[in-house]
Structure formats: structure tokens, C-alpha cells
Amino acid sequence: MGESRRYYVTTPIYYVNDRPHIGHAYCTVLADTMRRYRRLMGDETWFLTGTDEHGQKVQEAAERRGMSPQAHCDELHAAFRELWPQLHVEEDDFIRTTEPRHTRVVQAALQQLWEAGDITIQSYEGWYSTGAERFFTEKDLVDGRCPDTGQPVQWISEKNYFFRMSRYGERLRAHIEANPDFIRPPHRANEVLAFLDKGLDDLCISRPKERLAWGIELPFDSDYVTYVWFDALLNYVSAIGLFSDSERFERWWPHAHHLIGKDILTTHSVYWTTMLMALGLPLPRSITATGWWLQGDTKMSKSLGNVVSPLGMKDVYGADVLRFFLMRDMVIGLDANFSEEALVRRNNSDLANDLGNLARRVAGLCDRYFEGKVPEPGEPTAAEAAVMATADDLRAAVPQLVDDLKLHSAIEEIMQFVRSLNKYVTDTAPFRLVKTDAPAAGRILYTVLEGLRHAAWLLWPVMPQKMEALLVGLGVPGKPTTLDALRWGELRAGTGLGLGEALFPRAELPVAAPEAAPSPEKAAEGGSAEAEPAQAQGPAEIAFDQFEQVDLRVATVLSCQRVEGSDRLLDFQLDLGTEQRRVVSGLAQHIAPEGLAGTQVVLVANLAPRKIFKILSQGMILSCETPESGLTLLRPGAAVAAGAKVS
Ligand code: ME8
């Protein structure tokens, strides 16, 4: 930190024909989050996204609709452009490949390569895949079919223009080997090196207009348009002024970071890099390939018909909750499974329970005992010094983890800090202390409020709107600036707090996910696009016989231990008189397992069993929680026989 750095981040430009799904949303939210973290680190930033609008599929779709391709694109690109603000994404520029500022650059680049002898005419024969819009050699095919789409391929023989990519293979290899952070994560660099080992062919970059008219015309042969990838990749430089605004171009291009999905690694790491070499331009600083969001074992994709609509999810749970889930539950570079249940659990545990609850807990106490204002900080004791030290460590650790692309770990570290604040409140019990030593209770509450302010800054890149709301509640409205400016102790005693509203309502598990979500198509069509995220409703009234269906029993704890690998789960072995039960309960943040054996608890005994952390949990232990007393287990007033019915 300190010296002025720049960060230019790009997403793939999405095919205009697709409806945006969670996979697209992920990459764009990731870019937005990365750029916000870079801002916090003091970098100057630029963020580009856009749409890829040429090619055969667009031409065919427009024909089917009886529209011109341009009118078709004008309409469809809006699905992307209008989605991003709804997900709190703030790109600086949105490029469409049909814009003149782009087509001019593509033509100038083609002309330059043509004049330099880097484009040649060859008579070409090969296997053409309509779905992938490219030629394949015999060795590329899988069982005689297109390796990308699995569709049949056609043998085509024609004159075409070729980019002499083969010239640059060795230079590319040297660059990858000399720059270990160029292609990330490292196993993707190995994949590219293995691809180069097979030897680079030249790349066919033209399509005869008689076969495909919807593309950018070659400046040196008006019977041809250029290959859609040659066109699309240049968006990263056309948008920042290549050939038109050298100052802007020089300002950003040396700091370019491409975020892409692993499906387009070759086009970026091989085609794009060699194109840049031939154009005499430097390579981007990094190319990061993310994994895929899967549904079951398969990639979420429109052609497979298993997509989840980001708007549908946002409408139910809110944009920031969706962002938090996407950023927390995917390790950059690896695949992850998308499930609405996992999203709900993440919301309920990390956001509603840990973060939201902490805010509510301290707000309640400040309201009751300190007139709803920030109390005096007082003189910190060892306990407060420990909290401050953790906050300092976190401020240093988060940028490092973000640089290392360990966004999920950065978020987890921040949440651990939040959990430690909850524990600090439980351990120091300001709700009791306030009766005998109000200044000491004030000191504790001040520390938690400062801790919350730090968490709000550090989580702002992931959940900008919610964290700005939290800062408003803490009486310090505004956007976070740079981490250098984040100093402990800036909350002013006497400032009015406004943390009354639940920041993160608990969400209900979908009854049968994913069908329980509103139809993604309906939501994407704008039917309920403006609906408020679900708020926690009071429980619905139930009839007596419904209540009677709940089998509540007293159980004696035989043993209790932490679930390995989880910081929130306890594993109970219970005696129900006639049988023993194993129950996993999310209480580890509140209750120590030691000393529970021999005590009694109340169990919902006929709850459908559920697998939690690979353990079959048979029932639910009842507890209650208030800001004053924290969480306590519900117990019978006197020892009773194990298995006794509660009514
Ligand atoms: O390939 N999980 O566009 P595209 C995660 N126009 N990410 C996913 C995903 C999934 N299931 N599905 C898609 C193109 N993505 C070209 C790009 S760039 C010069 C041209 C994301 O609409 C992922 O980032 O098919 C992937 O690379 C991108 O969407 C592809 O979007």
C-alpha cells in the first residue's frame, strides 16, 4: 500500500444471445468485488464488461425472429447491461462489439497484421463446428464430433485468411515460464504449456460472407468477415483507446487483469496473447480462470437448460446476500455446486446469525443503557487490546489474501473476527456488568461497535449496499475509502445509533429447492424484478392439532463434542429413554461442549433426519437467545426421566 498502483479488471464479454445466469453473474460480481478491494487498497481502478455480438448464432437467432442482427443485439444486450446495477455491480465501461469504437480497432488491427505479413491466405480444409464457430483438426475431434459441443462437424474446404500464430508459440512459452503469476491458478498455466507442447497451428481468422455475414469485414477483402474470437478478444484494448487515445491506453493496459471461466482459457492464453505479440503490445498482467458453478455434476449452461437466474435469487434473498454466497462459497479456480439451500444456510449462519445478530445485540444494549448512542471508549483493558490487535491483523491479512485470489479465505477471516466479537460479548457480559459498572459495559459496547465498523469496511467490496447501511446504522454514513484511513477509535462517543432494523433477516429453506424458487424465466422477464427481498415474517398461526404433531422430548446428554472441520457445529449423543440419538446442532459459537454430559435438553424428536457435515442428525435441540443473556439451552426445571414428553 502507499504507492499509487493501478488495476484494470475485465470480465469476458458475454454472448448476447444467452440469458444471464449465475455463472455470468459470478464472474462479473467477482470482478466488481476485486476492484472494490483494490480501491480499498488504494489502487486507481478501471472495470470493463460488455457483450459479444457477432457470429453465426446471433445471425441465426435474428433470422428466426425476422429481425436485423443489429436490432436483435440492441434488444438482447440489455439483459446484461440492466442486470449489473441490480447486483450492485458498478462497471466503468460496458463495451458492445457492434460499436464503431470497437469495429474500427478490429479493422485497424487486422490491417496492421496483414501489412506485417502476420496474416496469410491459405486454402483450407477442416472440420467445422457450427456450435463452436470454429474449425478443428482431425486430432482435436472426440469420437468424430466437436470437442466443445459434442455436435457433428462438417468437412469444409475453402480459401481463408490465417493469423500466423505458430510464429509465437516459443515466445509465449518463455513468457509463461518466466511469469508464474501470469496464468492463475498455476495448474491452468500447466494446461496451457501442455497445449503448446502439441505445437501451435496457424489460426483461421476469416469467414466467407456467403456463409456468415454478421461480423466485421476484413479491411483487405470485403468478401470476408473476421472470426468472432479475433473480434471479441480485442474488446479489452478497444475499450481503453487503442489506436485512438494513447494516453488512456497507456494508463490502463499495463495493469490489465482478465477474469475468465476455465472454458475460455485457450482463447485467452494462446490466441489473445499471440495476437498481442504480433501487434507489438505487452501482454496483460494476469489471466485468471475460474471454475464453474455446477448443478449436480454438470456445468450450468443455457444449452443444458439447467441455469439459475441471478435475478430470481436476488429477488428472493437480496443482491448482497447472493454476492456474499457467490464469493464465499466458491474457491477461485475450482468448481462449486450451486444450491439454494446452501445459499440460505450461508445467509442464516454467517449473515443473520453472526453479523446481523451481533449488530442487534449491541444496538439493543446501547438503546437500553446508553440512550441509543455510542458509549465512551474508556481505557482499554487486555480484552479490548486483543480485539484491536485482531482488527489490525485483519486489515493487513485481507489485502494479502485478496492478492493471492483467496477471496473465500479473506471473507472467512472477517467472519471469524465477527464471531470473536460475539464471543467477547458473551464472555464479558456487558448486560450484567452495566448494573454494577456502567463505564466498563460502555467500553465493551464501544469496542464491539468499532469492530463492526471494521467488519463493514472489510466486507464492503462483497456487500456494498448492506455494509453502507451498517455504517449508516453506526452513525458514520458514507462509502469506505482506503484501508490506510481505517483507524481504530474513530467512532465518536455520543453519536446516535440506528441499528434497529434487522440487517440480515433469516431466510426459510426452500421446500424443494430449486423448484421452490420463483421461476427464473419469469423473474428474468421482469415480472417481479422490483420485489423486496424476503423479510422475516412472524410465524404463521397453527392449529392445536398441528402443534400436537411436534414431538418434544427431554433428552439426557451422553456426550458432546465439536464437529471436526466446523467452527459452529456440536455433535451430541443423546439418551431418549428408549433409544439413543445423534444430533448435530449449530451451537459451538455459544456453548462449550465440555461439561454438557449429564445435563438435560429439550429435543424436537420427530424432525425429519438431515445430513449435516456428513453426519445424520436426528432431531433439533431447543435454545433461546436474547441480547442480554446470549444463547441458552432450554432445560427442564428439575431432572426428569430421559424421554419424558414435553407438552
Ligand atoms: O465465452 N460457472 O461468452 P459466454 C461459472 N463471448 N462461470 C460461468 C458459467 C458457469 N456455469 N457459465 C458461464 C463467451 N460462465 C465469449 C467470451 S471474451 C473475449 C468472449 C462465465 O457468454 C465464465 O466466466 O459463453 C465464462 O468464461 C463466461 O461466462 C463465458 O460467457
The pLDDT value recorded for residue 592 is 84
Distance 14 CA to ligand 1 centre (A): 6
pLDDT at 530 over 90: no
**Residue 338 corresponds to which amino acid?**
F
Distance of CA 173 to the CA centre of its chain: 31
Angstrom distances, CA of residue 232 to CA of 15, 72, 227, 489: 10, 18, 9, 49
Pick the residue whose CA is nearest to atom 27 on ligand 1: 261
Distance 404 CA to ligand 1 centre (A): 22
pLDDT at 251 over 60: yes
Q: Please state, in angstroms and rounded to a whole number, the distance separating the CA atoms of residues 117 and 123.
A: 17
Pick the residue whose CA is nearest to atom 23 on ligand 1: 261
The pLDDT value recorded for residue 536 is 33
Mean pLDDT of 483-511: 92
- Bridge-based pairing of strands 552-562 and 580-585 is unpaired
For 380-401, write each residue's pLDDT tens digit: 999 999 999 999 999 999 999 9
**Residue 293 corresponds to which amino acid?**
W
Distance 43 CA to ligand 1 centre (A): 27
pLDDT at 266 over 90: yes
pLDDT at 525 over 90: no
pLDDT at 514 over 50: no
Query: Hey, what domains does the chain have and what are their CATH numbers?
Result: 6-313 (3.40.50.620), 339-485 (1.10.730.10), 546-646 (2.40.50.140)
pLDDT at 297 over 80: no
Distance 205 CA to ligand 1 centre (A): 21
pLDDT at 193 over 80: yes
Out of 40-44, 130-134, 336-340, 534-538, pick the least confident. Answer: 534-538
Which cell is 252 given? 490502463
Burial (CB < 10 A; 0-12, 13-18, 19+), residue 302, is: middle
Best residue for ligand 1 mutational test, from 17, 27, 271, 287 (most atoms within 8 Å of Cβ): 27
As a whole-number percent, the residues of the chain with pLDDT over 70 amount to: 93
Return the higher-pLDDT residue of 630 and 152: 152
Mean pLDDT of 4-18: 93
The pLDDT value recorded for residue 545 is 63
pLDDT at 279 over 80: yes
Tell me 211's DSSP state. Answer: T
Q: Which ligand 1 atom is the nearest neighbour of the CA of 300?
A: 11
Q: Which ligand 1 atom is the nearest neighbour of the CA of 11?
A: 24
pLDDT at 519 over 80: no
pLDDT at 353 over 90: yes
Is the pTM higher than 0.85? The answer reads no
Best residue for ligand 1 mutational test, from 11, 14, 262, 308 (most atoms within 8 Å of Cβ): 14
Mean pLDDT of 109-134: 91
Mean pLDDT of 619-634: 81
For the chain, give me the number of helices (H) and strands (E)? 23, 27
Distance 146 CA to ligand 1 centre (A): 18
**Residues with Cβ within 6 A of ligand 1?**
12-15, 18, 23-24, 26-27, 52, 232-233, 235, 260-261, 263-264, 292-293, 299-301
Distance 586 CA to ligand 1 centre (A): 37
Distance 99 CA to ligand 1 centre (A): 21
For 356-380, write each residue's pLDDT tens digit: 999 999 999 999 999 999 999 999 9
The pLDDT value recorded for residue 451 is 98
The pLDDT value recorded for residue 597 is 87
Which cell is 296 given? 449436480
pLDDT-based confidence at 417, cuts 50/70/90?
very high
Mean pLDDT of 495-517: 76
Which cell is 96 given? 458492445
pLDDT-based confidence at 539, cuts 50/70/90?
low
Distance 454 CA to ligand 1 centre (A): 34
Nearest partner of 581 among 623, 622, 616, 612, judged by Cα: 616
Distance 463 CA to ligand 1 centre (A): 23
For 220-231, write each residue's pLDDT tens digit: 999 999 999 999
| Main-chain phi, psi angles of 232, to 5 degrees | -65, -45
Out of 165-169, 489-493, 569-573, 629-633, pick the least confident. Answer: 629-633
The pLDDT value recorded for residue 522 is 30
The pLDDT value recorded for residue 541 is 63
Return the higher-pLDDT residue of 24 and 128: 24
Who contacts 67 (Cβ-Cβ below 8 Å, separation ≥6)? 75
Measured from the Cβ of residue 120, the count of other Cβ atoms closer than 10 Å reads: 13
The pLDDT value recorded for residue 527 is 29
Distance 256 CA to ligand 1 centre (A): 18
Pick the residue whose CA is nearest to atom 28 on ligand 1: 261
Angstrom distances, CA of residue 103 to CA of 60, 70, 97, 107, 306: 21, 14, 7, 6, 34
Q: Please state, in angstroms and rounded to a whole number, the distance separating the CA atoms of residues 76 and 328.
A: 30
Report the half-sphere exposure of 304 (CA within 13 A, side-chain side): 14
Pick the residue whose CA is nearest to atom 18 on ligand 1: 12
Return the higher-pLDDT residue of 129 and 174: 174
Q: Which ligand 1 atom is the nearest neighbour of the CA of 264?
A: 27
Pick the residue whose CA is nearest to atom 3 on ligand 1: 14
The pLDDT value recorded for residue 543 is 61
pLDDT-based confidence at 515, cuts 50/70/90?
very low
pLDDT-based confidence at 549, cuts 50/70/90?
confident
pLDDT at 24 over 90: yes
Mean pLDDT value across the chain: 91
Best residue for ligand 1 mutational test, from 13, 24, 73 (most atoms within 8 Å of Cβ): 24
pLDDT at 141 over 70: yes
For 325-352, write each residue's pLDDT tens digit: 999 999 999 999 999 999 999 999 999 9
Q: Please state, in angstroms and rounded to a whole number, the distance separating the CA atoms of residues 256 and 286.
A: 7
Distance 350 CA to ligand 1 centre (A): 29
pLDDT-based confidence at 521, cuts 50/70/90?
very low
- Bridge-based pairing of strands 620-621 and 623-626 is unpaired
The pLDDT value recorded for residue 4 is 60
pLDDT-based confidence at 192, cuts 50/70/90?
very high
Distance 12 CA to ligand 1 centre (A): 6
Best residue for ligand 1 mutational test, from 84, 216, 233, 264 (most atoms within 8 Å of Cβ): 264
Return the higher-pLDDT residue of 233 and 562: 233
Best residue for ligand 1 mutational test, from 54, 149, 229, 263 (most atoms within 8 Å of Cβ): 263
Nearest partner of 556 among 600, 520, 516, 591, judged by Cα: 600
As a whole-number percent, the residues of the chain with pLDDT over 90 amount to: 74
Pick the residue whose CA is nearest to atom 19 on ligand 1: 233
Q: Please state, in angstroms and rounded to a whole number, the distance separating the CA atoms of residues 524 and 19.
A: 8
Rg of the chain over Cα atoms, rounded to whole angstroms, equals 29
The pLDDT value recorded for residue 526 is 29
